[in-house]
Structure 1
């Protein structure tokens, strides 16, 4: 493992960017807080999201605009 780490350091030259994985929320522990989970939402309900973006049942403008053409 040390050889692989050294090889990565030599390739990129940015030694400070690599570290051992110590958990998904090591750098963002506030994201793991289950009490705060429901307070981080942009909108309270899916209905509110749909009303604000003006999508309706069967409306495929959003999806079809992102499909590759050809």
Structure 2
């Protein structure tokens, strides 16, 4: 798994109608290739373990999807 650096953490009102008035949190990470990964979930689920779990899931999904080169 690549190494990631957290570049942002933001709390904001949830956009989910079922969670009206609740707060969500978003993290943004960047890896050594300068690819970004954003993670968003309810504030009450915020923990270092949850962040690492979500980051691992997104990293594995990105690796499984492979890279695509596009000429413009």
How does the TM-score come out when normalised to structure 1? 0.28
Structure of higher RCO (CA pairs closer than 8 Å, 6+ residues apart): 2
Bigger fraction of residues in strand: 2
Bigger fraction of residues in helix: 1
Larger Rg: 1
